[in-house]
């Protein structure tokens, strides 16, 4: 085993790394009965941390 294979990362550290760079989540959900599509939901989400160096995309609301 190499050092990288034995390295363990805490969940908090993993979430911190993901939020620092941003995460994009996309997905499709289709509800169907008897091969008839009843409801289709498209999901697009961007999850990112916001601070003074990376401001919120919608600006200051105060």
Q: Where are the domains of the chain?
A: 3-47
More confident residue, 21 or 55: 21
Does residue 45 contact residue 27 with C-beta atoms inside 8 Å?
no
What does the pLDDT read at residue 30? 92
What does the pLDDT read at residue 33? 92
What does the pLDDT read at residue 48? 75
Cα dist. 30→13, 24, 44, 46 in Å? 34, 20, 15, 21
Tokens of 16: 């911190």
What does the pLDDT read at residue 5? 59
What does the pLDDT read at residue 3? 52
pLDDT in tens, 6-53: 567 787 887 787 777 777 889 999 999 998 989 999 988 887 776 666
CA–CA gap between residue 26 and residue 44 (Å, rounded): 5
Tokens of 48: 């990112």
């Amino acid at each position: 085993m190499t050092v990288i294979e034995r390295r363990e990362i805490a969940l908090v550290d993993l979430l911190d790394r993901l939020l620092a760079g941003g995460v994009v989540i996309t997905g499709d959900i289709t509800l169907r009965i008897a091969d008839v599509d009843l409801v289709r939901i498209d999901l697009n989400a961007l999850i990112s941390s916001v601070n003074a160096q990376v401001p919120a995309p919608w600006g200051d609301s105060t």
